[in-house]
Amino acid sequence: MTMSALGEPCVLLKLGEIVLKGKNREVFERRLIANIRDALKSLDLKVDVRKRHGVIAIFLPQGATAEQARAVAERVADVPGLVWIHQAWRVAKDPDTVLKAGLELVGESEEAKRGARFAVRSRRRDKRFPLRSNELDRLVGGAINDEYGLPVDLKNPELTVSIEVDRDEVFVFTGGIPGQGGLPVGSSGRALVLMSGGIDSPVAAYRMMRRGLHVDFLHFSGIPFTTSESIYKAYALVRKLDRFQGRSRLWVVPFGKAQQSIRTSGQDRLAVIAQRRLMLKTAEEVAHRIRASALITGDALGQVSSQTLANITAQDNAVELPILRPLVGWDKTEIMAEARRIGTLEISELPDEDCCTLLAPKRAETRAKIEDLRQIEKRLDAEELCVQLADSIQEYTL
Ligand code: ATP
Ligand code: MG
């Protein structure tokens, strides 16, 4: 048996926007590291997450396998705040070991078997290392070329061997998984997503998690006039999204009776927007109770009649909390592509009957007047109603 020059398997993480931060960068990094540790708890593997110079390294316990390193890499690829995840090898800090490790990694790769064009890219974060990065590139690149006869292509390589020299070790790797980008969840605070079970709101939730918000989910069901299907769907969506943030909670409001009173209060054309305002008012009440400081919806400008500029204005007017609408400028096809990518589309496309199906007027108002809506709300006693609705909420914890 020949000894491998590849030291221990580990995972190397490249930070996203955090690198642009100034004095508070450390706060973001600490949050990110805590999120990474949380995400890895499910793997049941004792890992050591360490901050290095501008990167984060995850060291695995002694004797860990490359498969375990891959499982770690795949899990952290869902954690917002990272742009690249590399399954790497940690080797001793001398040029000869690095050279052998590089050769071995390339020898094992599929690309080498195909005769791929390659490049070596070194980075020397510790300037005491005896070779400069371009010297290391040439040393390792020359050896790979001699050993396997692979052509060098610095501009457009099919296989890149990366070498990163750190204070205590050298990391060697090829390839990587793109991360989610964005900011660490929690670094921007907490918010409440109005989650319908449709295609848009799960995508909106995901986009705001990526901007550093930890979110709770609020769903309005048509109960007692509909089945519980929409709740199951909302729950399945929350489960799917939980991998990006952890500790997700779904709150469900039985909204059927409130909708019935809206319908009987006349003004058919205003019913949809009146209902949306009541949802927002209830959401605001819930947000105060759970200390969320913003509401999030999946609205996209002009997509349906409730999303015209006038109607969006009427919605903003219903509450004091900001309503974040990350999809406001997105086309439906773009939203669907993102939903497919994050795995929510197939759940959203399941048939269901949420509360909105109960209230579908033949012609919906596209230019709702706030005065008319206030009249309806006075008749309903909306201020009192939304407190009652918030009281009747049910919590589903994952
Ligand atoms: P979605 O695909 O998210 O359902 P949509 O295109 O169907 O959006 P609407 O049904 O008009 O649009 O809803 C706009 C937004 O209002 C949704 O993105 C969501 O944030 C919120 N919303 C609508 N219905 C509900 C509901 N039953 N429970 C919670 N939020 C809802
Ligand atoms: Mg909908």
Mark whether 196 and 60 lie in a shared domain.
no
User: What pLDDT digit, counting tens, does each position of 211-230 carry?
Assistant: 999 999 999 999 999 989 99
Mark whether 116 and 195 lie in a shared domain.
no
Indicate the pLDDT class of residue 361, thresholds 50, 70 and 90. Answer: low
Decide: 282 in ligand 1 pocket, CB within 6 A.
no
- Decide if pLDDT at 97 tops 70: yes
Q: How far apart are CA 233 and CA 191, in angstroms?
A: 21
User: Residue written as tokens 């020397």?
Assistant: 124
pLDDT at 1: 39
Residue 394 has phi, psi (to 5 degrees) of -120, 140
Share of the chain above pLDDT 90, in %: 82
- Decide if pLDDT at 358 tops 60: no
Q: How far apart are CA 260 and CA 213, in angstroms?
A: 34
Find the mean pLDDT for residues 362-373: 82
Whether residue 184 lies inside any domain: the answer is no
DSSP three-state, residue 127:
coil
The residue among 178, 211, 237 that closes a domain is 178
Indicate the pLDDT class of residue 305, thresholds 50, 70 and 90. Answer: confident
Retrieve residue 216's tokens: 């709770």
Longest CA–CA span in the chain (Å) reads 84
Q: How far apart are CA 86 and CA 92, in angstroms?
A: 18
Expressed in angstroms and rounded, the spacing between residue 201 Cα and the centre of ligand 2 is 8
Mark whether 147 and 25 lie in a shared domain.
yes
Long-range CB contact pairs, 133-139, < 8 A, 24+: 133/165, 136/95, 136/98, 136/163, 136/165, 137/163, 139/95, 139/99
Mark whether 198 and 104 lie in a shared domain.
no
Name which of 128, 130, 114, 125 is nearest 162 in CA terms. Answer: 125
Q: How far apart are CA 256 and CA 240, in angstroms?
A: 26
User: What pLDDT digit, counting tens, does each position of 30-53 carry?
Assistant: 999 999 999 999 998 999 999 988
Considering its fold, how many domains does the chain have in total? 2
Whether residue 1 lies inside any domain: the answer is no
pLDDT at 277: 96
**CATH code of the domain covering residue 117:** 3.30.2130.30
Of all protein residues, the one whose alpha carbon is nearest to atom 22 of ligand 1 is: 196
Tally of CA atoms within 13 A in the half-sphere of 343 that contains its CB: 10
The strand pair at 213-221 and 249-254 is best described as parallel
Whether residue 285 lies inside any domain: the answer is yes
The strand pair at 48-51 and 55-59 is best described as antiparallel
List beta partners, residue 124. 165
User: What pLDDT digit, counting tens, does each position of 22-32 carry?
Assistant: 899 999 999 99
List beta partners, residue 165. 124, 170
Mark whether 14 and 134 lie in a shared domain.
yes
- Decide if pLDDT at 356 tops 80: no
User: What pLDDT digit, counting tens, does each position of 228-251 carry?
Assistant: 999 999 999 999 999 999 999 999
Which of 200, 279, 333, when mutated, tests ligand 1's pocket best, judged by the most ligand atoms within 8 Å of its CB? 200
Whether residue 185 lies inside any domain: the answer is no
- Decide if pLDDT at 362 tops 70: no
Q: How far apart are CA 176 and CA 86, in angstroms?
A: 4
Q: How far apart are CA 279 and CA 286, in angstroms?
A: 10
User: What pLDDT digit, counting tens, does each position of 178-189 carry?
Assistant: 999 999 999 999
Mark whether 283 and 147 lie in a shared domain.
no
Mark whether 65 and 125 lie in a shared domain.
yes
- Decide if pLDDT at 293 tops 90: yes
User: Residue written as tokens 């790979």?
Assistant: 144
Retrieve residue 267's tokens: 């003004």
Expressed in angstroms and rounded, the spacing between residue 347 Cα and the centre of ligand 2 is 13
Q: How far apart are CA 331 and CA 39, in angstroms?
A: 32
Find the mean pLDDT for residues 285-304: 96
Mark whether 171 and 201 lie in a shared domain.
no
User: Which range of residues forms the domain containing residue 124?
Assistant: 8-178
- Indicate the residue type of 147: E
Which of 194, 208, 303, 316, when mutated, tests ligand 1's pocket best, judged by the most ligand atoms within 8 Å of its CB? 194
CA 267 to chain centre: 40
Residues within the annotated binding site? 194-195, 219-220, 276, 298, 307
Mark whether 148 and 197 lie in a shared domain.
no
Is the bond preceding 224 in cis, omega lying within 30 degrees of 0? yes
Average model confidence (pLDDT) across the chain: 93
Q: Which of the given ranges, 54-68, 135-149, 295-309, 343-357, has the highest pLDDT on average?
A: 135-149
The H-assigned helical ranges of the chain are 25-40, 66-76, 95-108, 110-113, 133-148, 200-209, 229-241, 256-264, 271-290, 309-316, 332-342, 345-348, 370-380, 382-391
The DSSP symbol for 323 reads: E
Q: How far apart are CA 180 and CA 312, in angstroms?
A: 30
Whether residue 2 lies inside any domain: the answer is no
Which atom of ligand 1 sits closest to the CA of residue 306? 11
DSSP three-state, residue 83:
strand
DSSP three-state, residue 232:
helix
Q: How far apart are CA 279 and CA 85, in angstroms?
A: 40
Mark whether 217 and 356 lie in a shared domain.
yes
Q: How far apart are CA 87 and CA 59, in angstroms?
A: 11
Mark whether 41 and 159 lie in a shared domain.
yes
Retrieve residue 393's tokens: 């909420």
Mark whether 210 and 276 lie in a shared domain.
yes
Q: Is 160 left (phi over 0), alpha (psi -120 to 50) or beta?
A: beta
- Indicate the residue type of 163: I
The residue among 178, 204, 223 that closes a domain is 178
Q: How far apart are CA 270 and CA 375, in angstroms?
A: 11
Decide: 299 in ligand 1 pocket, CB within 6 A.
yes
